[in-house]
Amino acid sequence: DTRGKVTTKNLNLTDKHKIFTTSKTLVTLRENQLKIKSRLIDLDFGEYTEPKIFYLNDKIYITTTDLQSKKIYLFDSQAKSIPNFPVFGTAPAELQKLDNENGLELITQSDDKTIVVYKMH
């Protein structure tokens, strides 16, 4: 805090955990278990990329990609899956606002030479 007090908490993470954090959101992934804040999601078994957190339009989104099944998952900060996900993708996803229209765009790859942009409404 501003007075120099440090508070620590053991999260029981191992070197097998993938972690991404902001000042208010902690996301961890170990094997097929994605934890967003205190909520745990059991994903299908696979080879997942490090989770990423995006803060867009006053909302928190979390992505991870299963490289084996080629699926991109998208969740909100309450660990609820976003409708119409997972979608096809072969790389970690980037969530952005690319134009002046409502909605966001999810950018990823479909193969080594092709970029895919999904429009979210």
Sign of torsion, CA 88 89 95 96?
negative
CA 51 to chain centre: 4
- pLDDT given at position 62: 97
- pLDDT given at position 95: 96
Q: Which residues of the chain fall below pLDDT 50?
A: none
- pLDDT given at position 46: 95
